[in-house]
């Protein structure tokens, strides 16, 4: 009897403990739970509960975007609006549709300080999975603080999935444009038989993308049309972003404002020589243009970056255009417009395989005063197969860079970045020689 009493007492104690645990657990999941927030101003990305982007995906994927649709910040904000939203000392509490309360950082950039600028990406629908990582890098390192717009361009209609996913990741307004057929195709003056023979020959010689028609359309579009797409006409500056790229360091300043305040027109991260097989007559054609139009070259141009013999020949150095931060006004200006037109009529986008990188680079070097070009040595960048990994310890620490300096390409002998610094008397990191060779 005493033994069964003891059992009863133990059972009662166990049930009481279970009830207490249940109470504590249920308390922990009520909306009164206040998570720990990192209040450091450099950590504005902190989203406790991880719900903002996810909520936006859901909200946007439930929308049915039209062909020229755009998803504004206001749309996204509306997705989180809730009757229970309340300001709370720099944090905004909001109860989502799932009933959970989350806190969002409310520090905002002063919108009046932003300038007219956008990211721009040319992509196919099938590039989506390669692109999302690039967007995330840009957002995490820079744009979550500034919310600049993002324009996506395609020669076909973007799918609803492409729009839903990208608009969920971009913190600014996203815009989607279809390229006009007249700008993505063979111009009427191109001899199709001649162009086809070139592609076959380049294929046989195993020249990269040598037999590709779409690649040529892409290069021509990036050379002469992206900056005049109707969606781009709203902007003064752009940052070009491609699939599968990485940004290695924090960018805490407004990089577009930097361009404007410092009168920069073309910013780049990696430079290298072009394959001569793809541009055998580009320099000859450029020289013809310059001879006929010497007025387009300012006195302090940077011819010495692209030529080692006073303009006789091209040394093949070019800025890698998969990363560009630049002035749209420059491309839209008289000098570049006339240059592109001249190149386009010469047919080298199809009779050879002229890339937008050497075309942009030669134009920037020749038609801009040299101090309008800027090497972004502080952002850290990767596009297969080259890394720009800042080697200066101070830059790496301040900007929280996460790359391997042993992989840096910037100061290698094959890079043209050393030349850029030498001819412009620019300071190099004190330890750059340890990363050359």
Catalytic residue IDs = 324
- Decide whether 75 or 242 has the Cβ nearer to Mg ion: 242
CB-closest chain residue to ligand GTP:
214
Q: 178 — phi, psi (to 5°)?
A: -100, 135
Q: Which residues pair with 86 in a beta bridge?
A: 93
Q: Using the rule CB under 5 A, is 242 a contact of Mg ion?
A: yes
Residues within the interface to ligand GTP (CB under 6 A)? 121-124, 127, 154-155, 214, 218, 242-243, 322, 384
In angstroms, the CA 379 to CA 395 distance is: 9
- Decide whether 124 or 260 has the Cβ nearer to ligand GTP: 124
**Cα–Cα distances in angstroms (integers) from residue 397 to residues 143, 245, 390, 391, in the given order:** 20, 21, 10, 10
Tokens of 145: 């603080």
Q: Which residues pair with 266 in a beta bridge?
A: 326, 373
For Mg ion, which stretch binds (CB under 5 A), given 130-138, 174-182, 236-244, 394-402? 236-244
CB 47 within 8 A of CB 139: no
DSSP 339-350: HHHHHHHHTHHH
Minimum gap (Å) between residue 209 Cβ and Mg ion: 11
Handedness of CA 398, 40, 92, 112 (dihedral sign): negative
Handedness of CA 418, 419, 421, 425 (dihedral sign): positive
Minimum gap (Å) between residue 240 Cβ and ligand GTP: 8
Of 304-333, binders to Mg ion (CB under 5 A) are 322
**Cα–Cα distances in angstroms (integers) from residue 131 to residues 26, 41, 94, 122, 138, in the given order:** 41, 28, 30, 10, 11
- Decide whether 209 or 342 has the Cβ nearer to ligand GTP: 209
87 contacts which partner out of Mg ion, ligand GTP, none, CB within 5 to 8 A by kind? Answer: none
122 contacts which partner out of Mg ion, ligand GTP, none, CB within 5 to 8 A by kind? Answer: ligand GTP
Scanning 63-170, the segments in alpha helix (DSSP H) are 73-80, 128-138, 144-146, 160-169
CB 198 within 8 A of CB 278: no
- Decide whether 48 or 207 has the Cβ nearer to ligand GTP: 207
59 contacts which partner out of ligand GTP, Mg ion, none, CB within 5 to 8 A by kind? Answer: none
Minimum gap (Å) between residue 226 Cβ and Mg ion: 14
- Decide whether 59 or 270 has the Cβ nearer to ligand GTP: 270
Minimum gap (Å) between residue 371 Cβ and Mg ion: 29
Q: Using the rule CB under 5 A, is 160 a contact of Mg ion?
A: no
Please state, as a whole number, how many other Cβ atoms lie within 10 Å of the Cβ of residue 93: 16
- Decide whether 145 or 199 has the Cβ nearer to ligand GTP: 199
In angstroms, the CA 254 to CA 170 distance is: 16
CB 297 within 8 A of CB 368: no
User: 358-372 burial, b for 16+ CB within 10 Å, e for fewer?
Assistant: bbbbbbbbbbbebeb
- Decide whether 384 or 397 has the Cβ nearer to ligand GTP: 384
Tokens of 196: 């086809």
Minimum gap (Å) between residue 322 Cβ and ligand GTP: 5
Minimum gap (Å) between residue 242 Cβ and Mg ion: 4
Minimum gap (Å) between residue 245 Cβ and Mg ion: 8
Binding site for Mg ion (CB under 5 A): 242, 322
């Amino acid at each position: 009897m005493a033994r069964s009493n003891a059992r009863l007492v133990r059972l009662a104690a166990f049930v009481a403990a279970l009830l207490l645990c249940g109470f504590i657990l249920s308390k922990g999941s009520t909306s009164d739970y206040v998570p720990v927030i990192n209040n450091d101003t450099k950590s504005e990305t902190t989203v406790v509960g991880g719900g903002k982007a996810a909520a936006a995906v859901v909200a946007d994927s439930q929308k049915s975007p039209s062909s020229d649709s755009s998803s504004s910040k206001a749309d996204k904000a509306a997705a989180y609006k809730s009757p229970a939203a309340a300001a709370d000392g720099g944090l905004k509490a909001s109860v989502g549709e799932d009933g959970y309360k989350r806190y969002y950082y409310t520090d905002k950039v002063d919108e009046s300080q932003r300038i007219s600028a956008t990211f721009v990406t040319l992509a196919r629908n099938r590039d989506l999975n390669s692109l999302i990582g690039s967007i995330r890098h840009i957002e995490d390192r820079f744009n979550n603080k500034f919310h600049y717009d993002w324009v996506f361009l395609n020669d076909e209609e973007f799918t609803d999935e492409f729009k839903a996913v990208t608009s969920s990741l971009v913190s600014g307004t996203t815009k989607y444009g279809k390229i006009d057929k007249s700008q993505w195709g063979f111009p009427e003056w191109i001899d199709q038989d001649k162009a086809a023979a070139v592609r076959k020959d380049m294929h046989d010689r195993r020249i990269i993308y040598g037999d590709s028609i779409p690649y040529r359309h892409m290069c021509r579009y990036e050379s002469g049309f992206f900056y005049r797409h109707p969606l781009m006409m709203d902007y003064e500056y752009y940052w070009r972003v491609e699939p599968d790229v990485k940004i290695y360091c924090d960018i805490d300043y407004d990089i577009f404002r930097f361009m404007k305040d410092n009168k920069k027109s073309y910013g780049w991260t990696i430079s290298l020589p072009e394959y001569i097989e793809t541009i055998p007559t580009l320099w000859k054609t450029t020289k013809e243009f310059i001879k006929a139009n010497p007025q387009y070259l300012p006195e302090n141009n940077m011819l010495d970056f692209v030529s080692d013999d006073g303009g006789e020949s091209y040394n093949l150095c070019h800025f890698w255009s998969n990363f560009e931060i630049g002035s749209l006004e420059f491309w839209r200006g008289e000098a570049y417009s006339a240059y592109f037109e001249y190149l386009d009529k010469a047919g080298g986008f199809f009779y050879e395989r002229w890339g937008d990188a050497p075309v942009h680079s030669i134009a920037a070097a020749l038609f801009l005063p040299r101090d309008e070009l800027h090497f972004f040595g502080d952002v850290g960048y990767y596009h297969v197969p080259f890394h720009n990994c800042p080697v200066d310890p101070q830059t790496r620490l301040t900007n929280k860079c996460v790359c391997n300096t042993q992989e840096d390409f910037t100061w290698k002998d094959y890079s043209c970045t050393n030349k850029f610094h030498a001819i412009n008397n620019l300071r190099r990191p004190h330890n750059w020689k340890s990363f050359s060779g």
